[in-house]
C-alpha cells in the first residue's frame, strides 16, 4: 500500500483535512473555523479514516498548511494533536 498522509489546511474561516495517497487526494473534509478546532479535529480525523476504512497506523506523515501565524491557538492545537496521535512525522 502507498504511504498516506494527512494534510490539514488552516485558514481564518475554514479548515480542510485531506487524506493523500501517492500524491492524490483520496478524501477531504472541510468545515467552518469558529474556534472549534480543539473540539472537532480528532472527530474529523476519525471520520476521515473510518470513511476510507484505514487506521491511524497506515498514516506515514502529516502536513499543516496554515494561513494563520504559527503561534495562534489553532495552529498549535493542530500540531499537538498530530504529535500526540503518534502520526509518523511532519512531512516536508
Reading across the β-sheet that carries 89-90, which strands appear in turn? Answer: 24-32, 14-21, 4-10, 59-66, 89-90
Containing structural domain, residue 67:
4-90
Q: Is the pLDDT of residue 90 over 60?
A: no
Q: What is the pTM of this model?
A: 0.83
Mean residue pLDDT of the chain comes to 86
Residue 92 pLDDT: 46
**Total structural domains within the chain:** 1
Q: What are the pLDDT digits (tens) for 23-69?
A: 899 999 999 988 878 889 999 999 999 999 998 888 888 899 988 87
Q: Is the pLDDT of residue 9 over 90?
A: yes
Task: Return the CATH number at 74.
Answer: 3.30.420.40
Amino acid at each position: 500500500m502507498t504511504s498516506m498522509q494527512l494534510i490539514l489546511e488552516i485558514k481564518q474561516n475554514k479548515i480542510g483535512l485531506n487524506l493523500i495517497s501517492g500524491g492524490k487526494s483520496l478524501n477531504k473534509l472541510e468545515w467552518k473555523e469558529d474556534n472549534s478546532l480543539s473540539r472537532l479535529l480528532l472527530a474529523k480525523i476519525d471520520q476521515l479514516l473510518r470513511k476510507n476504512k484505514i487506521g491511524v497506523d497506515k498514516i506515514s506523515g502529516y502536513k499543516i498548511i496554515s494561513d494563520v501565524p504559527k503561534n495562534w491557538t489553532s495552529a498549535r492545537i493542530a500540531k499537538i494533536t498530530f504529535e500526540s496521535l503518534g502520526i509518523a512525522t511532519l512531512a516536508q
